[in-house]
């Protein structure tokens, strides 16, 4: 079953080939200030249509992701790996994030909610978790 949504104004559409395995509420300053809940996918499972612009973290020397947002309404839609990350990983980056706040809350009900400690993450290696997982209401 595909999952479909749009940004606030409808100019950018997001289609997921499958339901998310879990939803992540990261505590880094970027995710907190944007109010984002992420689900992680292989790019082959996500279709984004419409004009987006990107923001690149200015507080990191080598940011790992480009944050995409609608060019019209400004809603954050997804992140993709930066060219720098792809180069550092030898071209093998099969991961992107989709902003699950674009979906109706009832679509997320019952999903596992995890809390990555992005604030404490160095930008390399696996991240830890700020607290135990929960279930989306």
Q: What does each of the 137 residues of the chain score in pLDDT, given as a tens digit?
A: 889 999 999 999 999 999 999 999 999 888 999 999 999 999 999 999 999 999 987 777 788 889 999 999 999 999 998 888 888 878 878 899 999 999 999 999 999 999 999 888 776 777 788 999 999 99
pTM across the whole model: 0.89
Sign of the torsion formed by the C-alpha atoms of 87, 88, 92 and 96: negative
> Which CATH number fits the domain that encloses residue 41?
2.170.150.70
What residues make up the domain containing 62?
3-120+127-135
Can you tell me which residue has the tokens 């995890």?
Answer: 114
- The total of structural domains in the chain comes to 1
DSSP labels, 40-70: EE-GGGEEEES-EEEEE-SSSSS-SEEEEEE
């Amino acid at each position: 079953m595909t999952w479909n949504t749009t940004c606030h104004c409808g100019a950018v559409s997001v289609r997921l080939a499958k339901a998310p395995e879990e939803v992540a509420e990261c505590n880094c300053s970027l995710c907190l200030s944007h109010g984002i809940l992420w689900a992680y996918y292989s790019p082959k499972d996500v279709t984004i249509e419409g004009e987006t612009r990107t923001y690149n973290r200015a507080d990191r020397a080598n940011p790992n992701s480009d944050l995409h947002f609608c060019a019209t309404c400004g809603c954050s839609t997804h992140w993709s790996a930066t060219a720098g990350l792809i180069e550092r990983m030898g071209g093998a980056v099969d991961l992107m994030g989709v902003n699950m706040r674009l979906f109706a809350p009832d679509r997320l009900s019952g999903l596992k909610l995890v809390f990555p400690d992005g604030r404490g993450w160095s930008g390399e290696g696996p991240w830890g978790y700020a607290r135990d997982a929960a279930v989306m209401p």
